[in-house]
Structure 1
Amino acid sequence: MNERKMDLSEQMRLPKEVNRILYVKNLPTKITAEQLYEIFGKYGAIRQIRKGIAGDTKGSAFIVYEDIFDAKNAMDHLKGMQVAGKYLAVRYFDKDRLLKRIEIRKAKQEIENLKKKLS
């Protein structure tokens, strides 16, 4: 018989929301990129970390893993972890949710512009 071993990715089906990018909120604002690599790197190879620097994005970051299973492992272990007295809010990046937020922000801005024109 010609049986072959299935690798882990073939054995395990992941939910559709699982991806290589984690969105982390409630980070201490003074956390460094090196500290983020130290915390998140324990779960696999990281391709990129993007820390929020603007006023409304401070305390958040995108963590991009090389492998989807490493991202899932990090999510499973770090969700709710306490860092410098703050509990991390970790979820998978959702492109559709981001686009919806951008559309809402644009619509609100258009409404504000119309209000200014009419007053």
Structure 2
Amino acid sequence: MNNSRANVRLPPEVNRVLFVRNLPYKITPEEMYDIFGKYGAIRQIRVGNAPDTKGQAFVVYEDIFDAKTAYEHLQGFNIMGRYLIVLYYQPNKVTKKMNLAKKEEELRELKTRYGISEDD
């Protein structure tokens, strides 16, 4: 990291991992590297190939500033007639939802086990 960036404060949601949605299903990994690699060194790209993850990808940059630049330039970018949706990956949001669902399920099981109805 060079010194001009050392004191820059980034918003808390900014990180090195971008979550990209609305990708053309036929996009190749090479095309992904061509598009996202223009903004900096990429550590990894994972393109969804399951029915529920098609058209989505995670792009991991080596440098957080490169991820920020890519985010700013590629949001709404048109590829093969589709406009990209680029977000910063926020794992805590995903796990929070999963944890909440798990806690609700545990609560239902306890209520059932101890014969507590929803009306009590």
TM-score for the superposition, normalised by structure 2: 0.79
Q: How many residues align?
A: 106
Q: Over the residues paired in the alignment, what is the CA RMSD in angstroms?
A: 2.1
Q: Percent identity?
A: 55
- Structure 1 alignment gaps of length 5 or more: 1-5, 115-119
User: Which position in structure 1 is the counterpart of 2:72?
Assistant: 76
CA 105–40 in structure 1, closer or farther in 2 if over 3 Å, else same: farther
> How far does residue 93 in structure 1 lie from its aligned partner after superposition?
0.3
Residue by residue, what CA displacement relative to the aligned partner does 1:17-72 show, whole Å, maximum 9, x if unpaired?
10000000000011011000000000000000001111110000000000000000
| Counterpart Cα distance in 2 of 1:67 and 1:104 | 32
Letter of the 1:82 partner, please give it: N
> How far does residue 101 in structure 1 lie from its aligned partner after superposition?
3.8
Letter of the 2:66 partner, please give it: D
2:46 is the alignment partner of 1:50: yes
Structure 1 residue matching 2:18: 3-state secondary structure: strand
| Counterpart Cα distance in 2 of 1:48 and 1:107 | 33
